[in-house]
């Protein structure tokens, strides 16, 4: 029986560089001989990708906070069952761009549904805990400047006001304080090369 793989998530506000760092880490792990699978939330499985379109397109107030949360949870249930768990079972390392922490932060704190309420809802579908979570931290103003350089907003969450994005940052850092054994805060304001080197060093120290 194959040894169970590792599940590593990347979290942070808009423009923090999660996708870039995930890609760079995949390259290094692959070069080290690991079987690496890359996925994302919302999305990852065909059904979850269909739900993603409902969540990221349109105006900020398209959904109520509760309806939005339930859509995220439906997507995650399918994603975990069809993609993440099967990959871990055969020994692959799964790198995921956002996971359950983002739902707690975006819908619980950002949208105002309440962190504990979101956590209670997540318990209803079961919570897969990552082996390691990198929280890429950046001033929301700087992160949004990065997204502005891409042109039109890529998702509706980028369109929320400054207060929303400030709550996101505070909540991600609070999760890191609550779960220091799982979460590593990385200063994402630095160059992508420096950030990537930091992530690689931290991963080797934690999951050697």
For the stretch 180-200, pLDDT in tens is 999 999 999 999 999 999 999
Q: Give the tokens for residue 173.
A: 């850092």
2: in domain: no
147: in domain: yes
| Segment among 52-61, 117-126, 150-159 with least mean pLDDT | 150-159
Give how many domains the chain has, as a whole number.
1
Q: What is the pLDDT of residue 151?
A: 61
Above 90 in pLDDT, residue 147? no
1: in domain: no
CA angle 167, 140, 16 (to 5 degrees): 110
Domain range for 106 is 7-206
118: in domain: yes
For the stretch 56-85, pLDDT in tens is 998 888 999 999 999 999 999 999 999 999
CATH number, domain containing residue 15: 3.40.50.300
**Would you list the DSSP string of 152-177?**
S-SSGGGGS-HHHHHHHHHHHHHHHH
67: in domain: yes
Per-residue pLDDT, averaged over 159-172, amounts to 94
Q: How many CB atoms lie within 10 A of CB 2?
A: 10
- Taking the C-alpha atoms of residue 174 and residue 50, their distance in angstroms, rounded to an integer, is 31
What pTM does this model have?
0.94
Q: What is the pLDDT of residue 153?
A: 52
């Amino acid at each position: 029986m194959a040894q169970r793989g590792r599940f590593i998530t990347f979290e942070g506000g808009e423009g923090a560089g999660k996708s870039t760092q995930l890609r760079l880490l995949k390259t290094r792990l692959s070069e080290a001989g690991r079987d690496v699978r890359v996925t994302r939330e919302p999305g990852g499985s065909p059904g979850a990708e269909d739900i993603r379109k409902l969540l990221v397109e349109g105006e900020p107030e398209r959904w109520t906070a509760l309806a939005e949360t339930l859509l995220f949870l439906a997507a995650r249930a399918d994603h975990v069952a069809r993609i993440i768990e099967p990959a871990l079972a055969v020994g692959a390392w799964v790198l995921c761009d956002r996971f359950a922490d983002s739902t707690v932060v975006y819908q619980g704190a950002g949208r105002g549904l309440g962190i504990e309420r979101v956590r209670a809802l997540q318990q209803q579908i079961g919570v897969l805990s990552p082996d390691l979570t990198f929280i890429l931290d950046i001033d929301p103003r700087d992160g949004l400047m990065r997204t502005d350089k891409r042109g039109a907003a890529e998702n509706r969450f980028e369109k929320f006001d400054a207060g929303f994005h400030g709550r996101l940052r505070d909540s991600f850092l609070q999760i890191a304080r609550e779960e220091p054994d799982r979460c590593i805060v990385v200063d994402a304001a630095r160059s992508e090369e420096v950030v990537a080197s930091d992530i690689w060093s931290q991963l080797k120290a934690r999951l050697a």
